[in-house]
Amino acid sequence: MGLDKILAISGKPGLYEIVTQTRTGAVVQSLLDKKRITVGAHSNISILSEIAIYTLTEEVPLKDVLKKIKDKENGEPTSISHKDGKDALEEYFFGVLPDYDEDRVYASDIKKVIQWYNLLHKNNLLNVLEAEEEVVDASEEE
């Protein structure tokens, strides 16, 4: 399973995994408490594989940012909590992505990225970052 099966739903905490699609939306399972809910097509849903972070030169896919956090933390949970103060969050994120656009990436965005990383780590889903990279490498060699 890749990041294209993991969702963030506006107004709902945490991340969700797509279980199955329906005619009017999808059945998703929370990574926080494993409860299943139905979301309609009208819900504001963001697929993690389609999210990017603004830098001064380009937009960096969330997958790459999560990989940088994983490298920085040696595959462990973050050394900072998403509940820490704005200055601490920005300082940490600057260490991960030094050229992120401070005007367009808010502290609330950094909180989400850190919270999502830790949630993916807790559910052993960070390995999808490497798995997706291997698939890309294999297709480029052909």
Domain CATH code at residue 24: 2.30.30.730
Instruction: Mark whether 102 and 55 lie in a shared domain.
Output: yes
Q: Are residues 11 and 68 in the same domain?
A: no
pLDDT at 139: 43
DSSP secondary structure string for all residues of 95-134: HH-TTB-TTTS-HHHHHHHHHHHHHHHHTT-THHHHHHHH
Q: Are residues 70 and 99 in the same domain?
A: yes
The pLDDT score that the predictor gives to residue 131 is 58
What pLDDT, on the 0 to 100 scale, is given for residue 15?
A: 95
Q: How far apart are CA 15 and CA 1, in angstroms?
A: 14
Domain of residue 33, residue span: 3-48
Two structure tokens written together for 89: 């969050």
CB atoms within 10 A of CB 38: 13
Structural domains of the chain, count? 2
Please indicate, yes or no, whether residues 71 and 40 belong to a single structural domain of this protein: no
Regarding whether 9 and 69 lie in a shared domain, the answer is no
Amino acid at 124: N
Q: What pLDDT does 112 receive? A: 95
**What is the predicted pLDDT for the residue at 136?**
46
CATH number at 137 reads 1.10.10.1650
Examine the domain organization and report whether 59 and 38 are in the same domain: no
pLDDT in tens, the chain (142 residues): 688 899 999 999 999 999 999 999 999 999 999 999 999 988 899 999 999 999 999 999 999 999 999 999 999 999 999 999 999 999 999 999 999 999 999 999 999 999 999 999 999 998 877 755 554 444 444 4
Buried b (16+ CB within 10 A) or exposed e, 2-27: ebebbbbbeebeebbbbeeeeeeebe
